């Protein structure tokens, strides 16, 4: 019994010595950064301190799309890409090919409007030049002539309601100093928003090589644009009429109806959904495209995107099917 107790005492001493060596550092060195419970980033402070400082993740309030998402009810196989996001909860309700690069057509104008709202002023007077002319066959135009003037407010309404491509050039030159400078701002803004699969070559969306985006990147851009009350008001507009002036000060009337066929009554959204507004786009390369801000019966907002539909007769019913996913 005595021998056993002696062995236990020797073992205890050895263990104590080993512990002393470990905690005092190797070769007699001490730590230069000892643990301090008061240090701001210690685990103790993170757990215990109320309102402790912390890094906020970049995508803290954004939907994150890793791959296709489907409840099994919606089948949007006829379109190139589709996405439906709950803005408030940052939840992806549906996604198909959301990260595939595609031509955006006039959905480009959402970024044009966003940059104009950020860097311009609504009462700024814009003057058309010969550089604003667009000669592409079939392109939607307001018919601007060199010397025509209008405010940025008027231009944004014409851009988003009627989708006039020459007005996109007018805005770019007036706000950016040059079309090239404005497009640089568009690409810088895209990067800042995390739209890394996007590259713009012009402010209107007519087809050019190296002009592309994705359904997800359009969600990021549109999600930023709807933070501006002016943008929300414009995309909610069904008809727009205004008067601007030519180089001699003569008035020129403009009056057009939205390109959004939900607002024109050609198609009906689901009964539980209210379409706040959005942007359409159509070119041969892009097909038919649509991005929308909608609300459910509780007023909660949703962003939906469809790219590369073969026709309006396919796109709008498919969009309604997509919106039917809300609330399921």
Catalytic residue list contains 251? no
Token pair of 50 as six digits = 């109320």
Asked if residue 119 belongs to a domain, the reply is yes
What pLDDT, on a 0 to 100 scale, did the predictor assign at position 180?
Answer: 97
- Out of 77, 109, 251, 304, pick the active-site residue: 109
pLDDT tens, position by position, 35-74: 444 444 433 333 344 444 444 444 668 999 999 998 767 8
> How confident is the prediction for the chain on average, in pLDDT?
87
What pLDDT, on a 0 to 100 scale, did the predictor assign at position 246?
Answer: 97
Please state the domain count of the chain. Answer: 1
Asked if residue 22 belongs to a domain, the reply is no
Stretch 183-201: mean pLDDT: 98
Q: Is the pLDDT of residue 22 over 90?
A: no
Asked if residue 302 belongs to a domain, the reply is yes
Asked if residue 44 belongs to a domain, the reply is no
Domain interval for residue 150: 81-323
Asked if residue 59 belongs to a domain, the reply is no
- Out of 43, 106, 118, 320, pick the active-site residue: 106
Catalytic residue list contains 109? yes
Q: Is the pLDDT of residue 188 over 80?
A: yes
Asked if residue 11 belongs to a domain, the reply is no
CATH code for position 89: 3.40.710.10
Catalytic residue list contains 304? no
Asked if residue 56 belongs to a domain, the reply is no
Asked if residue 283 belongs to a domain, the reply is yes
- Out of 29, 163, 191, 227, pick the active-site residue: 163
């Amino acid at each position: 019994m005595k021998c056993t107790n002696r062995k236990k005492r020797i073992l205890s001493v050895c263990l104590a010595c080993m512990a002393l060596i470990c905690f005092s550092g190797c070769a007699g060195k001490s730590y230069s950064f000892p643990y301090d419970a008061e240090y701001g980033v210690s685990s103790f402070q993170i757990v215990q301190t109320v309102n402790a400082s912390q890094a906020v993740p970049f995508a803290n309030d954004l939907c994150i799309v890793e791959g296709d998402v489907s409840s099994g009810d919606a089948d949007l196989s006829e379109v190139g890409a589709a996405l439906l996001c709950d803005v408030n909860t940052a939840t992806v309700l549906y996604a198909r090919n959301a990260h595939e690069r595609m031509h955006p057509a006039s959905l480009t104008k959402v970024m044009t409007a966003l940059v104009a709202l950020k860097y311009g002023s609504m009462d700024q007077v814009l003057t058309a030049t010969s550089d604003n002319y667009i000669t592409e066959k079939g392109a939607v135009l307001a018919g601007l002539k060199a010397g025509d003037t209008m405010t940025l407010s008027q231009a944004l309404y014409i851009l988003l309601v009627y989708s006039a491509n020459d007005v996109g050039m007018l805005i770019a030159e007036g706000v950016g100093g040059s079309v090239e400078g404005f497009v640089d701002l568009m690409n810088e803004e895209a990067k800042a928003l995390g739209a890394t699969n996007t590259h713009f070559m012009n402010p209107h969306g007519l087809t050019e090589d190296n002009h592309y985006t994705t359904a997800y990147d359009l969600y990021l851009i549109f999600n930023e644009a709807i933070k501006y009350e002016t943008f929300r008001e414009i995309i909610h507009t069904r008809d727009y009429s205004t008067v601007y002036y030519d180089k001699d000060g003569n008035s020129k009337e403009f009056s057009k109806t939205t390109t959004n066929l939900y607002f024109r009554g050609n198609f009906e959204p689901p009964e539980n959904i209210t379409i706040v507004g959005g942007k359409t786009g159509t070119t041969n390369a892009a097909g038919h495209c649509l991005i929308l801000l909608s609300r459910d019966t509780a007023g909660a907002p949703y962003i939906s995107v469809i790219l590369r539909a073969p026709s309006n007769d396919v796109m709008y019913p498919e969009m309604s099917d997509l919106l039917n996913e809300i609330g399921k």
